[in-house]
């Protein structure tokens, strides 16, 4: 993992720049750091600094850009790793759900491994030379910063955009995708619910920005990292049937085969997403249904509610490196 450097005095990026017709949405209280015992995790500002450092250290291999802005004005950072153009594209996304901070560390580990390892590991060099790897470490930066605001955890899952016509704040970004949105009792219409799907598909700027990025590229394979339960999940999530209008039996069998192979490397349990519970409007169903991307969700460590969403920072290295073989296996599928 990245050696963590404390950014003394760093504040969460705030959207306070004046616009012609007013001001951008106000950000929540500035974040100083994670609570005691969790300082090894990276705040949004520290994630950004690490990505900038990666580009400085590997200017011919890594490029930092933004796919858009969060509701509160934070850049949705994208780190591109490539030694050339015109190669099969693979995408890794993390931190759709705010409190799932271990996933951001997973994306940072992928960045570190495929850049720092390029010059010394022939296997990594071969994967980078034959693919373009995209990494989005913070899909929901407003929510993740709020979750640690005030030096304590808030058990926050959603975005931070107020819900129109309601006193509630936030939408579950992984129920906000425009594929079978709200179809099948796999999300809630209640703005106060944790799995509130939003007033409309892609109502959240974060999901819309990521979708626009995917629409503009030729992504072949994808993992969306979550916590917790130690699962490898594949579409379909909106139905218990392994097949549907956009999934043939042969395609379902391919998902099962690859999912089981990845789970064999990390000790996770492999299953169709709906085997956990029905979801509608999630990114993996959308990625497959709209673009035929080989898209999986990983539910990382732990298996249960203790420590649940908040494992201490001693788990960062073992739980991120644990997924190296599975990440490699997925990249090999992108042809």
Amino acid 30: pLDDT: 60
Residues paired with 299 in a beta bridge:
226, 231
Q: Does a structural domain hold residue 235?
A: yes
Q: Is the pLDDT of residue 14 over 60?
A: no
- 230 flagged as catalytic: no
Amino acid 8: pLDDT: 31
> Where in the sequence is the domain holding 287, given as residue range(s)?
43-333
What would the pLDDT profile of 109-141 be if each residue is shown by its tens digit?
A: 999 999 999 999 999 999 999 999 999 999 999
Beta strand pairing status for 219-227 and 75-81? Answer: unpaired
Q: Does a structural domain hold residue 278?
A: yes
In this prediction, residue 13 has a pLDDT band, given cuts at 50, 70 and 90, of very low
What would the pLDDT profile of 44-65 be if each residue is shown by its tens digit?
A: 999 999 999 999 999 999 999 9
Q: Is the pLDDT of residue 9 over 50?
A: no
Stated pTM of the model: 0.93
Structure tokens at 186: 């796999």
In this prediction, residue 321 has a pLDDT band, given cuts at 50, 70 and 90, of very high
Average pLDDT in the 283-288 region?
A: 98
CATH number of the domain residue 100 falls in: 3.40.630.10
Q: SS3 for 232?
A: strand
Q: Does a structural domain hold residue 239?
A: yes
Q: Does a structural domain hold residue 21?
A: no
Average pLDDT in the 154-159 region?
A: 98
Amino acid 27: pLDDT: 77
Q: Does a structural domain hold residue 163?
A: yes
In this prediction, residue 29 has a pLDDT band, given cuts at 50, 70 and 90, of low
Name 120's Cβ contacts closer than 8 Å, sequence gap at least 6: none
What would the pLDDT profile of 214-273 be if each residue is shown by its tens digit?
A: 999 999 999 999 999 999 999 999 999 999 999 999 999 999 999 999 999 999 999 999
More confident residue, 284 or 29: 284
Please answer whether residues 98 and 72 qualify as being in contact, where contact means their C-beta atoms are separated by less than 8 angstroms.
Answer: no
Counting Cα atoms < 13 Å in the Cβ hemisphere of 187 gives: 29
Amino acid 210: pLDDT: 99
Average pLDDT in the 278-291 region?
A: 98
* Nearest one of 180, 189, 325, 181 to 261, comparing CA atoms: 325
Q: Is the pLDDT of residue 4 over 60?
A: no
Which long-range CB contacts under 8 A does 187-196 form with residues at least 24 apart?
187/279, 187/280, 187/281, 191/163, 191/166, 192/166, 192/168, 194/157, 194/158, 196/158, 196/163, 196/168, 196/170, 196/171, 196/172
Q: Does a structural domain hold residue 57?
A: yes
Q: Does a structural domain hold residue 23?
A: no
Structure tokens at 124: 């990594």
Task: Count up the domains in the chain and report the number.
Answer: 1
Name 91's Cβ contacts closer than 8 Å, sequence gap at least 6: 134, 135, 136, 214, 219, 221, 222, 223, 293
Q: Is the pLDDT of residue 5 over 90?
A: no
Catalytic residue among 46, 50, 230, 299: 299
Q: Does a structural domain hold residue 17?
A: no
Between the CA of residue 63 and those of 4, 58, 66, 187, 224, what are the distances in Å?
21, 9, 10, 36, 21
Alpha-helical (H) ranges within the chain are 44-57, 101-116, 122-129, 141-147, 205-215, 249-266, 283-291, 316-321, 324-333
What would the pLDDT profile of 164-191 be if each residue is shown by its tens digit?
A: 999 999 999 999 999 999 999 999 999 9
**Rg value, the chain, Cα:** 19
In this prediction, residue 19 has a pLDDT band, given cuts at 50, 70 and 90, of very low
């Amino acid at each position: 993992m990245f050696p963590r450097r404390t950014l003394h005095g760093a504040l969460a990026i705030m959207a306070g720049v004046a616009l012609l017709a007013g001001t951008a949405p106000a950000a929540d209280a500035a974040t100083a750091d994670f609570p005691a015992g969790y300082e090894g995790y990276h705040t949004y500002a520290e994630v950004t600094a690490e990505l900038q450092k990666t580009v400085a250290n590997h200017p011919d291999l890594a490029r930092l850009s933004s796919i858009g802005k969060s509701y509160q004005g934070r850049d949705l950072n994208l780190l591109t790793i490539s030694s050339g153009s015109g190669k099969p594209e693979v995408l890794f996304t993390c931190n759709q759900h705010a409190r799932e901070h271990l996933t951001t560390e997973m994306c940072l580990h992928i960045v570190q491994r495929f850049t720092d390892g390029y010059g010394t590991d022939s296997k990594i060099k071969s994967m980078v030379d034959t693919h373009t790897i995209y990494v989005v470490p913070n899909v929901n930066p407003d929510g993740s910063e709020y979750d640690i605001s005030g030096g304590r955890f808030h058990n926050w899952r959603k975005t931070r955009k107020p819900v129109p016509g309601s006193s509630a704040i936030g939408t579950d970004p992984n129920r906000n995708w425009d594929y079978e949105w709200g179809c099948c009792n796999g999300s809630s219409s209640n703005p106060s619910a944790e799995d509130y799907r939003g007033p409309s598909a892609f109502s959240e700027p974060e999901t819309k920005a990521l979708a626009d990025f995917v629409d503009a590229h030729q992504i072949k394979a994808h993992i969306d990292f979550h916590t917790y339960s130690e699962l490898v999940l594949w579409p379909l999530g909106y139905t218990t049937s392994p097949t549907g209008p956009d999934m043939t039996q042969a395609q379902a069998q391919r998902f099962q085969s690859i999912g089981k192979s990845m789970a064999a490397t990390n000790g996770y349990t492999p299953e169709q997403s709906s085997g956990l519970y029905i979801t509608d409007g999630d990114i993996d169903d959308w990625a497959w249904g709209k673009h035929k991307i080989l898209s999986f969700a990983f539910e990382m460590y732990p298996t249960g509610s203790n420590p649940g969403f908040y494992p201490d920072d001693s788990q960062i290295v073992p739980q991120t490196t644990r997924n190296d073989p599975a990440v490699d296996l997925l990249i090999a599928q992108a042809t």
